[in-house]
Amino acid sequence: MTKMKQYLLVAVALLAVVGCQRRPLGGDDPAGEACLVRFQAKNEVEVDMGSKAAASSNLPAGSTVRVVAYQRGSAGQTNPNLASDTWKETSTYKVQGDGSLVPCHVTADGAVDAGNANPAKGMELNNGIYDFYAYSPARQLESDNKSVKGVGHYEDFMGAYVGSQTINRSSSTVALTFEHKCSKLSFTVKNVNGMVCSDLFADSAVVRQMATVPAGDYTLGGDLAATVGAAADTGIIRTFSYLDVAQKGNGAFGSAIFLPKAVGKVPAEFYIKVNGVRYLLKAELPAMVFAKSNNYMFTLRVKQGEVELTLKVASWSAVADNSELGGDNGHILIGSWGSVDWGGGMGGNPDQVATPIVIGKWTPVALPADFIAGQNGGVGSWTPVGQDNSQMGK
């Protein structure tokens, strides 16, 4: 088995205030001192539970980040209030290979604007106390200086907030902890119980009645609105890879990012290939949420004559790699298909034929209310799948 690892997302941007210089910018500081704020972006920390070793990684090089600075509207104000607080500055940055952020111009969708030859300026602030907001990618900030429009499926949109940070002529460090604002769905098709199979793969996993696109505006310091769409509001996992390219019959894995979804049923279609023959498994998943920062790990456990669909919910950053997703620990049974003929019935169905064979009859297992409404990834009173494939469900 693969060693257990845990990803602890710290996604910390260190804002080191250096190079303070006297420049008459006006504002709250009578001396007119302005500080150039520099940024360093950190992303994941990988923890090997066996050796306890940890290694940090930088935010991916080339990512963009927008930082926004506000000051609170009144003295003694304990909480931020964007309706009355005062916007001060916003700057956009590109992440370097060493994790440092350098000022850059961006397009409206947050991509680096390589065609803009004008020097990009970093953030300069007078001495004072500020609330800092940041998000990535560095999409356009609307004219209200607090909202972002157009975030959709398949985008790892992240946000951060830290308040009441003092900026002065002495070096100052502000740590921003980022979180994923969308949810992640992972899909594994896995050969269990030694079914004879030389090639087991997935074409796509289709989930319907997802969040509407886009899911409302993002407001600094807040969340994307969780919604439930119609049948046409579809999310698709399209890209898959073998769990083991040397043993293609073991199965395959894929994942995609989706906007958070409120409680609602999820019609689903899973397209898989067994020894080159395409099959379709249809299901209506129980009413459930897809909450921000969670990874919803579905596994099709393919057996001779049967398929079981299991689910494990964990923090987006709690899984080390794809092979861990295919494991059994912590998964719960949510339904199955029986009387499945893997012989490619009806004279076979070669890969080039567009219409796959629809197999079996979906038999769902009802989820309890504490799972349906749970926002924290809990699985309620459900019994995890055992490694000996026993004790499925309650």
What DSSP letter does each residue of 285-332 carry, written as one string? EEEEEE-TTEEEEEEEEEETTEEEEEEEEEETTS--SHHHHT--TT-E
* The pair of three-digit structure tokens given for residue 383, joined into one six-digit string: 């019994």
Query: Residue 272 pLDDT more than 90?
Result: yes
Q: Which has more confidence, 325 or 241? A: 241
When pLDDT is cut at 50, 70 and 90, the band that residue 18 belongs to is very low
Question: CA-CA distance, 192 to 263, in Å (whole number)?
Answer: 31
193 located within any domain: yes
Query: Cα–chain-centroid distance for residue 329?
Result: 21
As for how many domains the chain has, the answer is 2
* One domain, residues 73 and 161: yes
When pLDDT is cut at 50, 70 and 90, the band that residue 171 belongs to is low
Q: Which of 165, 191, 189 is nearest to 176 (CA)?
A: 165
Query: Residue 99 pLDDT more than 60?
Result: yes
Judge whether 43 and 57 are in contact, CB under 8 Å: yes
Query: Residue 377 pLDDT more than 50?
Result: no
Question: What pLDDT sits at residue 302?
Answer: 94
46 located within any domain: yes
Where do we find the tokens 């923890």?
A: 47
* One domain, residues 74 and 165: yes
* The pair of three-digit structure tokens given for residue 164, joined into one six-digit string: 């009441």
Question: Burial code of 179-193, b = ≥16 C-beta within 10 A, e = fewer?
Answer: bbbbbbbbbbbbbbe
Question: What pLDDT sits at residue 14?
Answer: 38
Domain that holds residue 307: 183-372
Distances (CA, A) of 10 to 43, 94, 339: 6, 19, 46
When pLDDT is cut at 50, 70 and 90, the band that residue 286 belongs to is confident
* One domain, residues 133 and 217: no
381 located within any domain: no
Which one of 147, 162, 180 terminates a domain?
Answer: 180
Q: What is the mean pLDDT of residues 370-390?
A: 45
Judge whether 189 and 201 are in contact, CB under 8 Å: yes
385 located within any domain: no
Q: What is the mean pLDDT of residues 6-31?
A: 39
* One domain, residues 137 and 205: no
* One domain, residues 42 and 99: yes
Q: What is the mean pLDDT of residues 127-150?
A: 94
CATH number of the domain at 26, please.
Answer: 2.60.40
* One domain, residues 26 and 88: yes
Judge whether 40 and 101 are in contact, CB under 8 Å: yes
Which one of 147, 180, 213 terminates a domain?
Answer: 180
When pLDDT is cut at 50, 70 and 90, the band that residue 244 belongs to is very high
* The pair of three-digit structure tokens given for residue 13, joined into one six-digit string: 């941007």
* One domain, residues 161 and 189: no
Which one of 180, 214, 231 terminates a domain?
Answer: 180
When pLDDT is cut at 50, 70 and 90, the band that residue 43 belongs to is low
* One domain, residues 128 and 188: no
* One domain, residues 205 and 219: yes
Cis peptide before 137 (omega within 30 of 0): yes
* One domain, residues 93 and 208: no
CATH number of the domain at 288, please.
Answer: 2.60.40.3740
Query: Residue 90 pLDDT more than 90?
Result: yes
Judge whether 274 and 252 are in contact, CB under 8 Å: no
* One domain, residues 240 and 349: yes
Beta strands in 192-234 (DSSP E): 200-207, 218-219
Nearest 5°: phi and psi at 34? -120, 140
110 located within any domain: yes
332, β-bridge pairs: 311
Average pLDDT of the residues of the chain: 78
